[in-house]
Amino acid sequence: MFYTCGPNEAMVVSGFGRSPPLMIAGGRVFVFPCIQQIQRITLNTLTLNVKSDKVYTRHGVPISVTGIAQVKIQGQNKEMLATACQMFMGKSEQEIAQIALETLEGHQRAIIAHLTVEEIYQDRKKFSEQVFKVASSDLVNMGIGVVSYTLKDVHDDQDYLHSLGKARTAQVQKDARIGEAQYKRDAVIREAHAMQEKVSAQYKNEIEMAKAQRDYELKKAAYDETMQKPADAEKYRLEKLAEAQRVQLIMEAEAEAESIRMKGEAEAFALEAKGRAEAEQMAKKAEAFKQYKEGAMVDMLLEKLPLMAEEISKPLSAAQKVTMVSSGGSDVGAAKLAGEVLDIMTRLPITLEKLTGVDISQVCHVCDTYRLCVRLNN
């Protein structure tokens, strides 16, 4: 007849024609009744709560450790399945779990004894790996594989771990403070480095700008020097020209001043000479006048007669209209006017005689002699 099983179970058929026995993990098989038999073994994963109470560590500190392990019979490995069948065939799942639990607990105790509390407490992963490695190598000989192992709890009855925790807490707090201080320090250092880089970049930029300005000034100076030579020559020419013009103006001014001075001196000399000549002439005239008193007086009067005539005729020349009135059989018009002017002129000698007491007609020859003397003196 046919028998079946699920993937979490294995069947072993033994008896007639089954040497060695047939092992099937999940599947079906035909079994001949009476001459063959069938047995089953579980392939379920077994969860084991591995407790080790008051185990002394390497330094003699008793601690209690609890671990969680997952184990199972490896049905896909024929050799391990055959080994498990030899060791656990006919045993229940609880019996198999108990055997595996005792084996794991023994290895867990052995590893605790070789470590310190600090090593177990501070590095649980390392402890779990050691237990897993040692237990796996032993259980595999039973056909059981350790799927996983995890350290669940570590405690003691003497508050060692509590004290260790305080110390650790204090250390952690200290490390935290140190870490915070280091972080702040690093932040300040980073900020300082950033500021230094910024300032360095700024200084570098300023240096580059200064170099560029220096190069520009050098080039400009060279160019200005090239341009300065013609400019200096032109400036020198203009300065010399201005100097020559200045000297010329000074010389012209000095010449003008000298000319004015000489002209002034000449004019003064001329005036002086003219004055002396006029004085001498006046002296001579005075001398002649003294010798020819009547003649000189008459000569002076004769010289003034034209002026007197001019003054007499001025009113007539200024008149715009002359009205002539006839009183009888005399002339009228221009003839009368001319006659009256001439009549006035003929009366002048008589008037002069009355003024000076000199008869002009008697002293004319004396006047001629006076004039001759005056000409000779001039």
pLDDT of 366 above 50: no
Q: What CA–CA distance (Å, rounded) separates 63 from 157? A: 7
Nearest C-alpha neighbor of 131 from the set 115, 148, 107: 107
Tokens for 130, please give them: 């050691």
Q: What CA–CA distance (Å, rounded) separates 71 from 136? A: 9
Tallying the residues shown for the chain, one arrives at: 378
Q: What CA–CA distance (Å, rounded) separates 209 from 203? A: 10
96 close to 73: Cβ distance less than 8 angstroms:
yes
Q: What is the C-alpha end-to-end distance of the chain, expressed in Å?
A: 201
Q: What CA–CA distance (Å, rounded) separates 114 from 85? A: 34
Nearest C-alpha neighbor of 374 from the set 308, 295, 307, 302: 295
214-247 residues labelled b (16+ CB within 10 A) or e (exposed): eeeeeeeeeeeeeeeeeeeeeeeeeeeeeeeeee
Whether pTM exceeds 0.85: no
How many other β-carbons are positioned within 10 Å of the β-carbon of residue 331? Answer: 13
Q: What CA–CA distance (Å, rounded) separates 333 from 339? A: 10
Classify strands 36-42 and 2-15 as parallel, antiparallel or unpaired.
antiparallel
137 close to 42: Cβ distance less than 8 angstroms:
no
pLDDT value at position 34? 85
300-322 pLDDT, tens digit per residue, is 666 666 776 666 666 666 666 66
Cis geometry, peptide bond prior to residue 20 (ω within 30 degrees of 0): yes
Q: What CA–CA distance (Å, rounded) separates 190 from 184? A: 10
Which residue reads 């005792």 in tokens?
102
pLDDT of 368 above 60: no
108-166 pLDDT, tens digit per residue, is 989 888 888 888 878 888 888 888 988 888 888 888 888 898 888 888 777 776 676 67
Output the DSSP codes for 203-233: HHHHHHHHHHHHHHHHHHHHHHHHHHHHHHH
35-75 pLDDT, tens digit per residue, is 878 788 888 889 999 998 888 888 888 888 899 999 988 88
72-98 pLDDT, tens digit per residue, is 888 888 888 888 888 888 888 899 899
Q: What CA–CA distance (Å, rounded) separates 337 from 319? A: 13
Question: Which residue type sits at 174?
Answer: K
Q: What CA–CA distance (Å, rounded) separates 229 from 152? A: 100
Q: What CA–CA distance (Å, rounded) separates 250 from 312? A: 60
Show Cβ contacts of residue 115 under 8 Å, excluding neighbours closer than 6 positions: 57, 58, 127
